[in-house]
Amino acid sequence: MTASAAVLMVAAAALLASLLLPFAVKPWLVRLGVLDMPSARSSHTQPTIRGMGITVAVALVAAMAVAVAASPPSVAGINGPVVLGACALVMAVAALIGWIEDFRGIAIKVRAVLQLGLGLLGSLVLALAIPGNNLWWVPAGAVAVAAYINVANFMDGINGISGMHGLVVGAFYALAGVLTGHTWLVFAGVGIAAAFAGFLPWNLGRGNVFLGDVGSYLLGAAISITAVAAFFAKVPVEYIFSPVLIYLADTFITLIRRIASGERWYAAHRQHAYQRLVIVGLSHVQATAVVSAATVATSVLGVVSAQGGEGVTVAAGVVCAGVVLLYLRTPTIFQRLIRRRRAAAGPAAGM
């Protein structure tokens, strides 16, 4: 089987399963009464079915199984099947933790221990499967996995945002695999992108459903463990970091602001930039488009930075910082634009 055919099989497995499984799972979730109730962190106003992320989890793990079977046993000393298997295990267990959180709830401390433990296990296996790594990086990998699981959970507050994030980041990780010759990374990126793309019609269509914690935990774990594996495999950090920069900036700037103002940083809220975009008047799709466009921009700049010389790298870094700052200002920018439009429409409406 050629590499291209294998990639197509991984993409087809993820996309078709993600698209079709909800037909069977949605009635089951309805019978179980798994509903997401509006809260202080929500941007929706009525109870909505959550937990549909279980279908994305099954789709992604199935696609990773196809990738394990199709991956060359060893390329440049890296055991591709073991790397993909370790990533799939972390994804599956993270989804299981989220599934339990959706149904029964888990204490914050217990959840943190489980996430760190999962990241530690996955990072250790990857460090051993990818030659040339210092085991001192394993704790950093564990923190990265646990942190990004929570970042993805914090950012999963409007329709389309998580599906688009998985699609965009997965696509750019696959591109990074192509550009660096890491076939396993192409498989992982394509699987993530296709699985979350398959969820979008269900999330954005009529009678929409939510990923729930099972889906947001899956998203965070899938991206972070793939990033850790790529880092251990010496993939340039620009490829790894740039696609997640917007999510990280939105999360950590918001947390810093809340801590500085004396608020409980862990309490539910609607202060993220993407949430404020909805508050000022954008639809969920429009706000998701702003976040996704900014993510694509930083990702492209990351590719340019990795491919260019020192001068190009510095210039790309400066522009990337500008994109992040511009994104963080978008709620204010759109609020002013909307107010001006309404002010201009007011006199005309009264004529």
Which tens digits make up the pLDDT trace of 200-225?
A: 999 887 657 889 999 999 999 999 99
Nearest one of 70, 236, 255 to 154, comparing CA atoms: 255
What digits encode the pLDDT tens for the residues 128-159? 999 888 889 999 999 999 999 999 999 998 99
The two three-digit tokens of residue 297, written as one number: 């921009």
Write the pLDDT tens digit of every residue in 88-124: 999 999 999 999 998 888 988 999 999 999 999 999 9
Would the pLDDT of 44 be above 70?
no
Residues with Cβ within 8 Å of 118's Cβ and at least 6 positions away in sequence, in order, are 90, 93, 94, 97, 145, 146, 221
Instruction: Tell me if residue 351 falls in helix, strand or coil.
Output: coil
Residue 201: count other Cβ atoms within 10 Å of its Cβ. 13
For residue 351, pLDDT over 90 is answered with no
Least confident of 31-45, 208-222, 333-347: 31-45
| Cβ partners under 8 Å of residue 225, min gap 6 | 86, 87, 90, 91, 119, 122, 123, 126, 145
In 3D space, the residue among 163, 274, 205, 207 whose CA is nearest the CA of residue 48 turns out to be: 207
